Amino acid sequence: MDHKVAQLLEMGATAAQARAALKQYKDVMAAAERIFDGSFDHVRDDDGDIAMSPARDVPEPRKSGMITPEADDDDVEDNDDEDEYDSDDVEDFADYDSDYESKADVGQGMSKADPYAGVFFSKDRREEVIEVEEEPETAFVSEEKEEVKLMTQGQWMKGCPEGGEQSFLFTLYNELSESECRCPNGCDYSVQRQKRDFFPLFSEFSTYTKHLSKIVQRTCLKCSKKFCYACGEPVGSSKYSDQHDCLFHCPNLQGVILGVGLAMLESKFTEDLEQSASDKTRKRRQVQISTPQPLEVDVEEDDDFYPPISQTKKMKLGIGYAGDAREDTSGQLEALAAQRAKDEKLSKLLSDIRVFLPSIHRAGGGKPSDFLVHPTALAHLRRRFNFVSSQLLRNDSLTDMSDRSVLYFELLNWLETISCHEALASMMAMPIMVVTSVKSINSRKSSTSHIRERTIVYEGSSGPRELLEAIVIQAQAALKGLEPIKIEEEETVEMSEEQKRITNDDKGKGKDVNKAVAEENEKLLGFCTRILATARAIDRSLRDLKGDAFVDRLHTSLPKIPGSASAGEDRQVVDAGDTEESAQKAYIEWANRVRFEYCDLTVSSSDTNDDVPNYKFYYNNEARMLASSDIPKRSLAIAKELAVLTTNLPVAWNSSVFLRVDETRVDIIKALITGPEGTPYYNGCYLFDVFLGPSYNHAPPSVKYMTTNGGKFRFNPNLYQDGKVCLSLLGTWSGPGWIAGKSTLLQVLISIQSMILCEEPYLNEPGWATAAGTPQSKILRMLGEWW
């Protein structure tokens, strides 16, 4: 009895309501359904008030805005019950209201639909779960005439720690796999449930739902009345308009359909990941290497400063030497086609499962199971769907996501649907639990049977809304890069007959290319717009369902948009703490915030009649010449580039890369690279001006080294006093060069950071590649400067 009361307390009922409901309904789910439909709203504790757990004082949040179809208006108005939290669970999760000052209005009750209402789990949350792997049974499903594997209890309960979630999963699994389903009309007729009824793992999810629709509605052989095979409750006499309508009858069906469906999704997604990893391992990069030549260093005729080096023995090649390498790119089109096919299948599976997500906004109105969400549905969403969504949302390439838009659009549909339901919306703020360690348990039972036990440790990581924000930042940067695409309509001028003839002759030339570029621009523009719309929709739904305090607290954990007002215009002093560890942590947090920002790089001009601004920038003249130009292909390349740079610039205690981009001209960039630890450049700051010219990214960017004290100092064979940067990627020296449409500015910056600002710059001089460890190299390394 106490165990059942505890289950109802975790679902949001009060102790008095739980005891009263269990007196009438022995089954926990039946009691929960009656509590949540308002049948026990009149039940009070001995003092007339609803009891709260003595372990914590939970403030009263907003009033619930969602009711079940059976609830009366009066019941909803009188529903001022608050969630009851078991005192034993205080250490398992943190109350989100516990550390903010503003409290909700007194008299407003907490929603009973969401067992996690008002709760933010800490990212420091750690769960140790003992998971059981069993040899799956097989059974012949007569309705589909197919031999299939059955979902084991270990698979069903995967990832859920001991406590409320696990007890709900255990109860539902046992109920639907081995208990009797009795006719609710009291005629003593019953049907024995079997595991093959609700837990067959078909190859297709549609086959599973088709199977359920055939068996879920039963007719009593004694009283001839219909009842639900999943919950044992009567079924109305009205006919269903769709064969799947019967699958929305009760929370039990909802829980098992989402559980099995999400297990299929997780299995399919994991299988695709493993196959992709296997393909990459099998297909090695085929590289043809000729005689080693400098990858990026240059030598001029007057560079005779260095004495000849004896090459009596073979030494390691210097940093910056790789020879003339050509990568085999065959099979790329086939790989892209294969990935597209996988994405389409995965998107179709997601779409089919999403039909059964609780949604009171579905076409035709909400179904019965939409209003009362089964706890196991939430458990499977948090464990299985969150795993898939986190893998997809951690993609750091907006271009790749745009190319796989068929899958990502469906993922955004899921996030919107979840955020629109009061019982699910809290998931957007909760950390996603990820596996950090797996340890096998050796026991006599496991050694003598097909059962294997493992202890798996899960730790909290960024939640869905936080992961989405990283993509939002990329999308905003891409949209900023696409802004120059806007074309002003030109004034129509009457053409002469000769001009018309020439125009007709040239008609169609380049049309296909321009059309393809425009379509790609529109595709990226549409994808970025959809991402931003989804983020706004999620926040709007959360404010409606959870309140402003919930969303404000959530937003404090989101990564800030670089250079935006939200990051604050005032520069704050960074508290480094008293230890090196605290200083490193403070630096990393600060550097991640400021590594990419927009700023004003313009300078005042004495010419008041000049409408084109000047810039504090080496390539000022080139930039001014492109002020009024519009090159769609270039704009698209810059948009993709900015999306990557916003969240992928390397930041570390020993070396970082920072960018400042002009807020109105995103092709004007300043880069600052701090010298890596262990090199002569450690703790030095090296500034570069970068211009994305008219042919970018068909041609490499223009890069000029600025830390020369007015052309007086040279610190590296690759960095000249006049600012020239010798890098084969930039086309300033022989070797593997820029690949049109593929190479990126990020590659250039990392090459400078790791290959030019290197441990032994002496080796970057042509012909000296084998001089590692020689006295000359060591001396120059100690001096830490060149010339």
User: Whole-model pTM?
Assistant: 0.71
Once rounded to an integer, what is the mean pLDDT over residues 346-357?
Answer: 94
**Backbone torsion region of residue 508, taken as left when φ is above 0, otherwise alpha when ψ lies between -120 and 50, otherwise beta:** left
Q: Which of 36-50, 87-101, 459-473, 726-740 has the highest mean pLDDT?
A: 459-473
List all residues 6 or more positions away from 305 whose beta carbon is below 8 Å from its beta carbon. none
Residue 98 CA, chain-centre distance (Å), reads: 28
The CA distance from 618 to 671, in Å, is: 12
User: Contact, 241 vs 219, CB < 8 A?
Assistant: no
To the nearest 10°, the Cα dihedral for 151, 153, 154, 156?
60
| Confidence (pLDDT) at 349 | 95
What φ, ψ does residue 434 adopt, rounded to 5°? -120, 150
pLDDT, average across residues 630-646: 86
pLDDT at 98 over 60: no
pLDDT at residue 560 in the model:
74
Is 432's pLDDT higher than 60?
Answer: yes
DSSP-derived secondary structure letter, 87: G
User: 26-40, 163-177, 278-292 — which is least confidently predicted?
Assistant: 278-292
Q: What is the pLDDT of residue 718?
A: 84
At CA 3, angle to CA 95 and CA 172, rounded to 5? 90
Contacts of 555 (CB under 8 A, 6+ apart): 539
Instruction: Tell whether the model's pLDDT for residue 731 goes beyond 50.
Output: yes
Report percent pLDDT > 70 for the chain. Answer: 69
Which of 90-99, 147-156, 541-550 is predicted most confidently? 147-156
SS3 139: strand
pLDDT band for position 19 (50/70/90)? confident
pLDDT category at 306 given cuts 50, 70, 90 is very low
Nearest Cα to 136, choosing from 581, 545, 521, 452?
Answer: 452
Cα separation, 787 vs 414, whole angstroms: 60
Pick the closest to residue 412 from 266, 526, 258 (CA basis). Answer: 526
Alpha-helix runs per DSSP H in 547-661: 548-556, 580-594, 620-625, 632-648
When pLDDT is averaged across residues 77-98 and rounded to a whole number, the result is 36
Q: Which of 317-331, 471-485, 771-785 has the lowest mean pLDDT?
A: 317-331
Query: What does the pLDDT look like over 323-334, one tens digit per residue?
Result: 344 445 556 778
Residue 13 has a pLDDT of 74
> Average pLDDT of 313-321?
38
The pLDDT value given to residue 480: 87
Average pLDDT over residues 334-342: 87
CA trace torsion 247, 251, 253, 256 (10° rounding): 140
Kindly indicate the confidence band of residue 486, based on its pLDDT and cuts at 50, 70 and 90.
very low
- SS3 for 454-470, per residue? EEEEEEEECCHHHHHHH
The vertex-619 CA angle with 618 and 625, nearest 5°, equals: 150
Residue 733 pLDDT more than 90? no
- At residue 350, the pLDDT reads 95
User: CB-hemisphere CA count at 13 Å for 326?
Assistant: 4
Q: Of 350 and 105, which is predicted with more confidence? A: 350
Contact (CB, 8 A) for 478 and 398 = yes
Reference 730, options 297, 124, 214; nearest CA is: 297
Query: How far apart are alpha carbons 596 and 399 in whole angstroms?
Result: 19
Average pLDDT, the chain: 75
pLDDT band at 37 (very low <50, low <70, confident <90, very high): low
> Of 128, 163, 159, 121, which is closest to residue 461 (Cα–Cα)?
121
* 381: β partners: none
Residue 659 tokens read as: 């960018």
pLDDT category of residue 67 using cuts at 50, 70 and 90: very low
What CA–CA distance (Å, rounded) separates 754 from 746?
Answer: 12
Q: What is the pLDDT of residue 735?
A: 72
For residue 23, the model assigns a pLDDT of 80
Does residue 774 have a pLDDT over 80?
A: no
Phi, psi of 287 (to 5 degrees): -120, 130
pLDDT band at 558 (very low <50, low <70, confident <90, very high): confident
Least confident of 186-195, 533-542, 572-581, 599-608: 599-608
For range 63-83, the mean pLDDT: 37
At 577, the pLDDT band (50, 70, 90 cuts) reads: confident
Residue 95: phi and psi, rounded to 5, are -70, 125
What pLDDT digit, counting tens, does each position of 390-399 carry?
A: 999 998 888 8
Question: How far apart are alpha carbons 171 and 458 in whole angstroms?
Answer: 23
262 vs 274 pLDDT, higher one? 262
pLDDT of residue 483 exceeding 90, the answer is no
Residue among 36, 37, 40 nearest 19 (CA): 40
Instruction: List residues with catalytic annotation.
Output: 726
> Averaging pLDDT over each range in 34-38, 277-281, 502-506, 523-527, which range is the top one?
523-527
Length of the chain: 787
Contacts by 705-709 with C-beta closer than 8 Å and gap 24+?
A: 706/618
Least confident of 246-255, 460-469, 599-608, 651-660: 599-608
Nearest residue to 410 (alpha-carbon basis) of 482, 366, 345, 467: 345
Asked if residue 662 has pLDDT above 60, the reply is yes
Least confident segment among 49-63, 106-120, 636-650:
49-63
Question: For position 357, what pLDDT does the model report?
Answer: 92
Instruction: Output the pLDDT for position 373.
Output: 86
User: How many angstroms separate the first and last alpha carbons of the chain?
Assistant: 84
Asked if pLDDT for residue 547 goes beyond 70, the answer is: yes
Contact 700, 730 (CB under 8 A): yes
361 pLDDT band, cuts 50/70/90, is confident
Provide mean pLDDT across the span 28-33. 70
The answer to whether the CB of 322 falls within 8 A of the CB of 736 is yes
DSSP code of 753? I
Range name among 143-147, 237-241, 476-480, 755-759 with the lowest pLDDT average: 237-241
DSSP 3-state of 255: helix
Q: Which one, of 93, 94, 80, lies nearest residue 127 by Cα?
A: 93
Which of 53-62, 181-190, 555-564, 672-681 is the least confident region?
53-62
Query: Residue 159 pLDDT more than 50?
Result: yes
